[in-house]
Amino acid sequence: MRWFTFLLAAMLLGQQQTDWIASSNNPDIRYHEQVFARTKACYLEFRDLKQGSGYTTFDADVDYSSTDLNSKGQPAMKTDSEHIATAPAQTGPSRIANCSAVLEVRVSFVQRH
């Protein structure tokens, strides 16, 4: 019954959730996305599979479908750059406004401290 209640609440809030996905250019950096249709935002959490006892920092370029429309009336593709920090017991969060879907994530400048 609890599972059904959670599922129903997620459906009512318009939330779409994914499993952990490898970034397109570094399989050790993974992200998990949640798209909230009502708030028109994408929330991402990042983690490092090679996370040591310290922090991992990196830049993430996120390609996404915007809620804004292009001249042809289609969702515009945009890129947002985020600086992310993860810790052994903490994911690195990020929020992208006017987002309807995450298309690709690329990371650079990965540093493990």
How much is the pLDDT for 37?
Answer: 80
Check: CB of residue 32 under 8 Å from CB of residue 16.
no
pLDDT reading at 100 higher than 90? yes
The two beta strands, 41-48 and 26-36, are: antiparallel
Is the whole model's pTM more than 0.95, yes or no?
A: no
Residue with token string 């298309």: 103
Domains of the chain: 2-112 (2.60.40)
Instruction: Compute the average pLDDT of residues 90-98.
Output: 95
Nearest to 40 by CA among 62, 14, 17: 14
Instruction: Compute the average pLDDT of residues 19-34.
Output: 96
What gap in Å lies between CA 1 and CA 62, rounded to an integer?
37
Which of the four pLDDT bands, split at 50, 70 and 90, describes residue 38? confident
Q: What is the pLDDT of residues 49-68, one digit of tens each?
A: 999 999 999 999 999 999 99
Q: What percent of the chain has a predicted confidence (pLDDT) above 90?
A: 77
